[in-house]
């Protein structure tokens, strides 16, 4: 059984609110509140079971018990790389290696991040339900967050929907890019293909990508760029950069040039969000993986110069670019958990 207990002291300005209104303000979904109502002892006020319509009093302690009886039994554990960047009772932040799918799918049943997470928790004798809040393409490396229980999943999903989970990417692309720019072009599915996407002005969904060049490797004719997205379309970075004549080399779909690297050199290097329980701002970074670091110019005096530049310089400060023709919140309630038990 998965169990998480959270207690909240009701502040003066929250008196008179119903339990459901109070919890919804903390990121609980209506579905989760219904689940708590149906759980014996799921909602206690002053130590007594109450309904979700109960009106709270200042100074009361509201205790919520999150329980799940059924872990993810259909995900077999597999001893795969799982680089844990951060963990607490509510979330797990990992730095995914390239070549590992985030979710099981046709053709990928035992070699995914889900299987690696199953193995990780099995070694510790802990039940788990696999909830990857965001996803990365199989051959994209970098940071993503897993929710360890229903509340974390609700809160982080809400932050995703409101675009409050911010991610910055690093990528190597062919050619010398402008110093910075923005690509605004709708993206849609390539007719007849299950996975491939293209710029599609007529039927595509709106998509916007900002980028800034950090350095240029003249010998390899590759630019290292930092990117941020206003939308989250499938293959957005890969499609947008290819559409303006700067594809990612090693990309089997959009630029199958493997002279420098055998996968698309795309890395989710910075991840920011608010903790789903405490509301505290969280920020994580992950250095370039070895295969991408090998594309940096040789003889750099400051090996961390690109990172400092990426931290200091916003993306998209330059001109807005169009595809080449045929070219290819923190918790809203004032209450925070009083204490918690796992």
Which positions are annotated as active-site residues? 137
- In 185-299 the beta strands, taken as DSSP E runs, fall at 187-189, 197-199, 208-217, 222-229, 266-274, 281-285
Instruction: Say how far apart CA 176 and CA 299 lie, in whole Å.
Output: 19
State the Rg of the chain over Cα: 23
Token code pair at residue 68? 């799940």
CB 177 within 8 A of CB 223: yes
Task: Write the CB contacts of 328 (distance below 8 Å, at least 6 apart in sequence).
Answer: 242, 243, 245, 247, 254
Question: Cα 136 from chain centroid?
Answer: 8
Instruction: Say how far apart CA 6 and CA 277 lie, in whole Å.
Output: 9
Instruction: Say how far apart CA 44 and CA 338 lie, in whole Å.
Output: 14
Token code pair at residue 256? 């199958």
CB 313 within 8 A of CB 226: yes
What SS3 class is residue 63? strand
Element (H, E) at 238: helix 236-243
């Amino acid at each position: 059984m998965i169990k998480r207990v959270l207690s909240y002291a009701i502040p003066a300005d929250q008196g008179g609110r119903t339990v459901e209104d109070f919890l919804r303000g903390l990121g609980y979904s209506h579905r989760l509140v219904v689940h708590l109502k149906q759980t014996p002892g799921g909602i206690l006020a002053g130590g007594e079971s109450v309904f979700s319509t109960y009106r709270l009093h200042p100074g009361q302690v509201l205790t919520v018990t999150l329980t799940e009886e059924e872990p993810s039994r259909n995900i077999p554990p597999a001893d795969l790389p799982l680089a844990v960047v951060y963990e607490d009772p509510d979330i797990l932040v990992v730095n995914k290696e390239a070549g590992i799918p985030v979710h099981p799918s046709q053709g990928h049943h035992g070699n995914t991040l889900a299987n690696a997470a199953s193995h990780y928790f099995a070694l510790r004798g802990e039940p788990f339900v696999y909830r990857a809040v965001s996803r990365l393409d199989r051959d994209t490396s970098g940071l993503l967050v897993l929710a360890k229980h229903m509340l974390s999943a609700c809160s982080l999903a809400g932050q995703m929907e409101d675009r409050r989970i911010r991610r910055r990417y690093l990528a190597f692309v062919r050619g010398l890019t402008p110093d910075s720019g923005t690509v605004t072009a709708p993206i849609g599915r390539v007719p007849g293909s299950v996975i491939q996407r293209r710029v599609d002005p007529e039927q595509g969904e709106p998509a916007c990508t900002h980028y800034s060049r950090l350095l240029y490797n003249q010998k390899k004719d590759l630019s290292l760029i930092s990117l941020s997205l206003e939308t989250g379309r499938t293959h957005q970075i890969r499609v947008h950069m290819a559409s303006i004549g700067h594809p990612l080399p090693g990309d089997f779909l959009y630029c199958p040039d493997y002279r420098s690297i055998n996968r698309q050199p795309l890395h989710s290097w910075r991840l920011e969000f608010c903790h789903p329980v405490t509301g505290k701002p969280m920020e994580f970074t992950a250095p370039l993986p070895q295969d991408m670091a090998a594309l940096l110019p040789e003889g750099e005096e400051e090996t961390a110069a690109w990172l400092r530049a990426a931290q200091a310089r916003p993306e998209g400060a330059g001109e807005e670019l169009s595809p080449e023709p045929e070219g290819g919140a923190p918790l809203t309630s004032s209450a925070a958990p009083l204490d918690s038990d796992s």
